């Protein structure tokens, strides 16, 4: 063991204490500074290791916090980019329009009827509302609209087919389909002749485009004109006069003939006429009028012919 000797402490300069004052230290006592324990090398190494371990823990915590922050920022960036990309693709301006099933209408007319124009955002379009706007057009019977991302729209149409021309009470000519829907109004004589459609003369009042014309005479005239085109496709243009409430007159301008039919059974009587027309031609060559109003009566089987 190390031997320590007791020494009298030296007086420090400026301490302010005088010799002989104060409580004297007992003989053989050691100063407080010299009673401190000696440094232990093992304890010093352990303390340093603990400090180093704490530093590592703090570094790891800082790195983990940095990694979490970076991951969160990256996730936010990716989600923001995805939302921006999807929004840009969804709201891309209209640059391509695919239309199928249109015959009488052009692409420009279809786009105008649907309320479409180049540059309109496709994502903001309602396909159902667009189809309803198309079906409001007189020519469109059925329409379906489908979005094609990005910037494209597909439209499938089913148009109404013209069935006949109707000469109305005021003398104007309108184009009708088989259901009586007015497709066109105010056709000229040249347009009516160029259409090649049968003409139905009625006493119906004028109607607007897209309206449905009703009436027994008009309905029967449309059905009769369609039936006549099927029975005699080579007969040429037909003119059906349904202004009389009891009879219907079918004019064949190319043949120069007129067939008079009863209103209540016009279709069946017209079938009878085309079936016996060759016989009638041999019996009375060059006849101009065939009256079949009595042909379908019970007990009557004659046809009146006039040259």
User: Strand 173-177 to strand 162-167: parallel, antiparallel, or no bridges (unpaired)?
Assistant: antiparallel
Per-residue confidence (pLDDT) for residue 154, from 0 to 100: 92
d(CA 172, CA 89): 51
Least confident of 178-182, 198-202, 232-236: 232-236
Percent of the chain with pLDDT over 90: 20
Least confident of 59-73, 206-220, 270-284: 59-73
d(CA 107, CA 97): 9
Percent of the chain with pLDDT over 70: 69
Higher-pLDDT residue of 30 and 173 is 173
Per-residue confidence (pLDDT) for residue 299, from 0 to 100: 47
The mean per-residue pLDDT over the stretch 263-277 comes to 86
* Contact indicator for 176, 198 with CB cutoff of 8 Å: no
Residue partners of 218: CB distance under 8 A and separation at least 6:
166, 180, 200, 202, 204, 242
Under DSSP, is residue 99 helix (H, G, I), strand (E, B) or coil? Answer: strand
Is the predicted pLDDT of residue 286 greater than 90, yes or no? no
Q: Which of 18-32, 53-67, 127-141, 236-250 has the highest mean pLDDT?
A: 127-141
Per-residue confidence (pLDDT) for residue 1, from 0 to 100: 46
Helix, strand and coil percent figures for the chain, each rounded to 5:
35, 20, 45
d(CA 237, CA 251): 9
Per-residue confidence (pLDDT) for residue 23, from 0 to 100: 52
Per-residue confidence (pLDDT) for residue 305, from 0 to 100: 83
Is the predicted pLDDT of residue 40 greater than 90, yes or no? no
- Domain 162-306, CATH among 3.40.50.11690, 3.65.10.10, 3.40.50.12780, 3.30.360.10: 3.40.50.11690
Is the predicted pLDDT of residue 298 greater than 70, yes or no? no
Task: Return contacts of 150-153, CB within 8 angstroms, 24+ apart.
Answer: 150/89, 150/90, 150/92, 150/122, 151/92, 151/93, 151/94, 151/95, 151/96, 151/122, 152/94, 152/95, 152/96, 152/97, 152/98, 152/122, 153/94, 153/96, 153/97, 153/98, 153/116, 153/122, 153/125
- The overall average pLDDT reported for the chain is 78
Q: Which helix (H) or strand (E) holds 16?
A: none
User: Strand 96-100 to strand 152-159: parallel, antiparallel, or no bridges (unpaired)?
Assistant: parallel
Tell me which CATH code domain 96-159 carries. Answer: 3.10.20.310
Q: What is the pTM of this model?
A: 0.63
Domain boundaries, the chain: 45-90, 96-159, 162-306
pLDDT digits (tens, 9 = 90+) for 101-144: 988 899 999 999 999 988 888 887 888 999 999 999 999 999 99
d(CA 135, CA 133): 5
């Amino acid at each position: 063991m190390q031997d320590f000797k007791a020494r009298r402490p030296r007086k420090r300069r400026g301490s302010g204490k005088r010799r002989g004052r104060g409580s004297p230290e007992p003989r053989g006592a050691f100063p407080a500074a010299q009673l401190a324990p000696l440094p232990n090398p093992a304890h010093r190494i352990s303390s340093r290791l603990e400090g180093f371990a704490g530093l590592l823990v703090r570094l790891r915590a800082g790195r983990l916090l940095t990694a979490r922050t970076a991951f969160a920022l990256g996730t936010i960036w990716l989600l923001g980019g995805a939302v921006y990309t999807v929004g840009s693709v969804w709201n891309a301006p209209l640059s391509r329009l695919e239309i199928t099933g249109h015959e009488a209408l052009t692409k420009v007319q279809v786009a105008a009827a649907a309320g479409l124009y180049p540059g309109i955002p496709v994502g903001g379009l309602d396909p159902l509302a667009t189809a309803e706007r198309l079906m409001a057009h007189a020519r469109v019977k059925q329409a379906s609209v489908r979005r094609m991302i990005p910037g494209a729209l597909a439209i499938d149409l089913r148009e109404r087919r013209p069935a006949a021309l109707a000469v109305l009470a005021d003398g104007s000519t309108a184009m009708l389909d088989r259901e009586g829907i007015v497709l066109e109004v105010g056709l000229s004589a040249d347009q009516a002749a160029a259409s090649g459609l049968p003409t139905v003369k009625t006493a119906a009042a004028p109607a607007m485009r897209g309206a449905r014309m009703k009436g027994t005479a008009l309905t029967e005239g449309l059905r009769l004109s369609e039936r006549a085109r099927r029975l005699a496709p080579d007969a040429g243009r037909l003119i059906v006069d349904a202004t009389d409430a009891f009879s219907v007159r079918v004019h064949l301008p190319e043949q120069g003939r007129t067939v008079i039919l009863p209103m209540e059974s016009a279709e069946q009587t017209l079938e009878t006429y085309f079936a016996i027309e060759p016989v009638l031609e041999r019996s009375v060559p060059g006849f101009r009028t065939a009256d079949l109003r009595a042909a379908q009566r019970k007990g009557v089987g004659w046809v009146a012919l006039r040259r």
